[in-house]
Structures are given as structure tokens and as C-alpha cells.
Amino acid sequence: MKALLKFFFGLFVVSGLVLSYFYLPAWISTRRKASRLRQWFTDPAAHPELAIAAGARCGDAPFLLPTDGYIGFGYGDSFRPGHSHQGLDIFGPTDLDATPVVAAFDGYLTRESTWKSAVIIRHPRDPLDPSRQVWTYYTHMADPNGESFILPDFPAGTRELFVPAGTLLGYQGNYSGDPNSPVGIHLHFSIVQSNGSGGYKNELEIANTLDPIPYLGLADVDGVWCCP
């Protein structure tokens, strides 16, 4: 009986160590990011060191920064077990419909007929791998009820409209699809792979996306993504 109890106790300890090894660093990182995000929300003007600027370029990076604000959640971050964030969440310093969102790179803009808060831009040549094309995706540009903050130049149903890098697309919102559960005011920005048939893959799955950080030239400085 004692041997059996020792076995289960040892198993419990080993399991705890394994879980700590794999999940504790991510948990600590998420807590740190959440703390900085609270600082940003409390007084953005007091924390300019956390902010990036729409239309700026980090060094010789191919992409422009797509909006103003603080990158609160990055590529691969986990909000819950089994989940990996498939882009960047950039929280602006202003109210709804005020923080600009710009095209990160020259390309051809599509806004599907049902999209209230999002546009996607096709880039025929990936600047980091010219053998393939990629898409940049911009979303949450609407209020909780779906009132769009995308410019009227890009109405729902727009397809393959050329836009140069730096083109104003709209403004940050907090649309989630559920009026009773808005997200914080931010832009979700991601890079989506092509599906091989001229379209784009499902952005909701991280396997269908690419890490935006190398395209934007950002560096992690003490846990904050900024221009080096």
C-alpha cells in the first residue's frame, strides 16, 4: 500500500513539474503583458515607450506599421489552453473611430460582401519570399453594433482594388460580432497564406498564417514589441 501511495505521489510531482515547465513561462508572460496593457489603457500618453506609429517603417523592414498603439498580444500568444494567437492585437490610444489603420504594403484590397469590420489585401510577391503571394488582414474596424469604420472608398463587395502602402483604410473599433460582448478598441493584424487557388486560407487557424514581426522589423525589448 505504501509503495502504491509513493508511486502516485511521485507521479503527481512529476506531472506538476512537467506542466510547470511547459505552461508556467507562458502564464507568466501573459500576466506581464496583461499588466502592461492595463498601464496602457489607464493612460496611453504616459507610456510612449509602448507605442508604435501608423505608417512608420522600422529600419529597412518591407512593411509599414499598420496603426498607432501598443501591441498587447503577439503572434503565438495563448489566451487559453490549446489556443495560439494568429496575429498582432494593436490597441490604440484613442476612442472608437479615431486611431488610423493603413495598408502595410502595396497590394490589391478585397472586402467581402458580409464583412463589417475587415478588409484583406493580396500581395502578389511576398517581400520575404518572392516565390509566393501572401495577404494582410485588418479587422475590428467597426463599433459593437457593426457600424463600420472602414472608409467609404472600400464598400462591402470591393474586390482587387489596388492600394499603395500607407493608404488610409479606416479606424480602429471594437466589433466582435456580438453587440453585448465588444472587444477592446484595437486592430487585429495578420498575414495569411494563399490557398493555392488564388484565394486565402482561413485566418482563424494559426497554421494558415505567418508571423508578422519579421515583416514589420519589430524587436522584443524587455517584453515590448517596438522598433529597434
- For the chain, the structural domain boundaries read 51-226
User: Can you give the pLDDT at residue 81?
Assistant: 67
Q: How high is the pLDDT of residue 16? A: 40
What are the φ and ψ backbone dihedral angles of 10, each rounded to 5 degrees?
-60, -40
pLDDT at 177: 94
| Pair 98, 80: CB distance under 8 Å | no
List CB contacts of 198: < 8 A, sequence separation 6 or more: none
Q: How high is the pLDDT of residue 223?
A: 86
Distance CA 71, CA 85 (A): 13
pLDDT for residue 112: 98
* Rounded Cα–Cα distance for residues 148 and 141 (Å): 6
pTM: 0.85
CA distance 228 to 213: 12
Q: What is the pLDDT of residue 41?
A: 80
* Domain 51-226: CATH class, spelled out: mainly beta
Q: Where are the alpha helices (DSSP H) in the chain?
A: 2-42, 213-216
Cβ-based neighbours of 136, under 8 Å, separated by 6 or more: 63, 66, 103, 104, 105, 107, 120, 121, 123, 189, 190, 191, 192
pLDDT tens over the chain, length 228 residues? 555 444 444 444 444 433 333 343 444 455 666 677 788 888 888 888 889 999 999 999 999 999 999 999 999 887 666 678 999 999 999 999 999 999 999 999 999 999 999 999 999 999 999 999 999 999 999 999 999 999 999 999 999 999 999 999 999 999 999 999 999 999 999 999 999 999 999 999 999 999 999 999 999 998 899 998
pLDDT reported for residue 173: 98
Closest CA to 184 of 76, 102, 99, 103: 99
